[in-house]
Structure 1
Amino acid sequence: MGNSTEDKLKGKFNETVGKGKQGVGEATDDDSMKGEGKAQEGEGKLQGAKGEAKDKIKQGVDKA
């Protein structure tokens, strides 16, 4: 199991890059790039949620 902070950072990075790709896709009218950007942004959101879940689990274990 990886580090929760690492997951959250990777998630934010992927969200940011995904949004950038969507912007480039919009500017160049490239539907493929827009789709790739949306997918990467979604992946980033999942990574961030995974990091948050790891934090919650760790907090619960630390309290026990």
Structure 2
Amino acid sequence: MGRAIRNTAQTAKGRIKEALGRTTQNRQTQREGRTDRSMGSLKQAAAKARKAFKR
């Protein structure tokens, strides 16, 4: 359960960072946010796949 929360938090952090970068017109921050969001989403998808094959 801890990993799921951590991955969701990373996705949320990425969304916030990306929005901040968009607001301040800072492309690097925006890119970092997009990366964090993508990594969190990929980790969540991997966890779902592991759970599906575990059954």
Query: Which bracket does the TM-score occupy, shorter chain normalised?
Result: 0.7 to 0.9
Q: Which residue of the other structure, out of 6, 25, 29, is the alignment partner of 2:25? A: 29
User: What is the percent sequence identity of the aligned residues?
Assistant: 20
TM-score norm. by structure 2 comes to: 0.87
Deviation at 1:7, TM superposition (A): 3.4
The structure with higher relative contact order (CA 8 Å, sep 6+) is 1
- Structure 2 residue runs of 5 or longer lacking an equivalent are none
Deviation at 1:11, TM superposition (A): 1.9
Name the residue aligned to 2:2: 6
Query: Separation in 1 of the partners of 2:38 and 2:49?
Result: 17
Cα deviation code 1:8-62 (max 9, x no counterpart) = 3222111100000011101111000000000000000111011101111211xxx
| Number of aligned residue pairs | 55
TM-score norm. by structure 1 comes to: 0.76
* Root-mean-square deviation over aligned CA pairs: 1.2
- Structure 1 residue runs of 5 or longer lacking an equivalent are 60-64
Give the conservation status (yes or no) of the 8 Å contact 1:12–1:44: yes
Give the conservation status (yes or no) of the 8 Å contact 1:8–1:49: no
Larger Rg: 1
